[in-house]
Homo-oligomer: A and B are copies of this chain.
Amino acid sequence: MKAPIRLGVAGATGAVGLEMLRVLEERAFPLERLRPMASGRAESRSVRFAGRDLAVEALSRANLEGLDTVLFATGPAVSREFVPAAAASGAVAIDNSRAFRMDEGVPLVVPEVNPRAAAAHRGIIANPNCSTIQMVLVLKPIHEAATIERVVVSTYQSVSGTGLAAIEELEQQARAVLDGVPTTARVYPSQIAFNCLPHIDEFDEEGASREETKMILETRKIMGAPNLRVAATCVRVPVFRSHAMTIAIETERDLEPARARDLLAAFPGVRVLDDPEAGEYPTQLDATGNDDVWVGRVRRDPSVEHGLWVWAVTDNLRKGAATNAVQIAELLIDGAAD
């Protein structure tokens, strides 16, 4: 695909869509045309880009025509309807929803981890789940050095992963609690302000949440490791933005924490901040607004022969969603992966 690109952004008025516009502008993505689109329930009818107000067009088959690439920041139902239409009209659709991620013919891509997978697309490339993107950047260099056998991950996920309405709900509820008045829960089933909910996406009959299952299946697909053993518990915490996670990693061969730290620091997209005795470890406030997967508290897990504990933090709207999608779009330019 030759730059400049005729680019569409579907779901441009949501939390991820707005971040995509910001990332495109920051990275000076080579645009011939930019068409922001939104479905009927759009939060607003215009968006800012490069100092101008752009009208938001309806997300329709007609408006998907004449584009080279379309970034979809839409939910699975909307993606199922419009992503194939975009592909059929000749564009490459990069979809942030879970709708196509596990489809065999659809590459699931994290550019630092499996960039070559993108080349095999048939018009659709899936952007992984936010927590999965964050985790695989940590796993990849460790896997290459010592072969990962099992991962036990627990997440601390911010409300921005749910969207703008959830950010507003946390703010309103927090204010109510501080003012001593009752809270109202609309977006989440229970109060999220000053409370943690072990509940992200729907539950299956075995008691796992879909977010947990995504972290298992998507990680295997991206890592090309279909038998990798992963266990996940996903928890929503009263934080506005960025996700954190504890990752207990069991490896086949021994890996010194100092060596793991070096490998992580050398891996693109990863930033190590790890001197806890000096008060240095990443938090969600550090990660917010930038594209790094921040890593700290790298240490031995003394409960297994070859084990490491890692604490990882990432802005879920940026590298966890918008930035990764834009990076995939960049991969397609000038045959980088096409």
Contact across chains for B248 and A196 when beta carbons are under 8 A apart: no
Considering the chains assembled together, what is the distance between the CA atoms of A219 and B160 in angstroms? 36
Considering the chains assembled together, what is the distance between the CA atoms of A108 and B255 in angstroms? 35
The interface residues of chain B lying within 8 Å CB-to-CB of A60 are: none
Contact across chains for B231 and A309 when beta carbons are under 8 A apart: yes
Contact across chains for B198 and A246 when beta carbons are under 8 A apart: yes
Q: A174-B174, A276-B203 are in contact. Are A194 and B303 (CB under 8 A)?
A: no
The interface residues of chain B lying within 8 Å CB-to-CB of A307 are: 231
Contact across chains for B207 and A297 when beta carbons are under 8 A apart: yes
The interface residues of chain B lying within 8 Å CB-to-CB of A257 are: 207
The interface residues of chain B lying within 8 Å CB-to-CB of A238 are: 194, 237-239
Does any Cβ of B come within 8 Å of A26's Cβ?
A: no
A interface secondary structure, majority: mixed
Considering the chains assembled together, what is the distance between the CA atoms of A239 and B196 in angstroms? 8
State which residues 193-246 of A face B: CB under 8 Å: 194-199, 203, 205-209, 216, 229-231, 233, 235, 237-240, 244, 246
Considering the chains assembled together, what is the distance between the CA atoms of A37 and B274 in angstroms? 41
Of B156, B170, B277, B296, which contacts A156 at CB under 8 A? B156
Considering the chains assembled together, what is the distance between the CA atoms of A285 and B197 in angstroms? 10
Of B154, B170, B207, B231, which contacts A298 at CB under 8 A? B207
Add 16 more A-B contacts to A208-B299, A216-B302 (CB < 8 A). Answer: A150-B303, A152-B303, A156-B196, A156-B237, A171-B178, A190-B283, A196-B237, A197-B281, A198-B283, A203-B277, A207-B257, A207-B297, A207-B299, A229-B302, A231-B248, A235-B244
State the A residues within 8 Å of B (CB): 150-152, 154, 156, 170-171, 174-175, 178, 189-191, 194-199, 203, 205-209, 216, 229-231, 233, 235, 237-240, 244, 246, 248, 257, 274, 276-277, 279, 281, 283-285, 296-304, 307, 309, 311
A-B contact pairs, 9 of them (CB 8 A): A152-B301, A156-B156, A156-B196, A174-B174, A196-B237, A196-B283, A198-B281, A209-B276, A238-B239
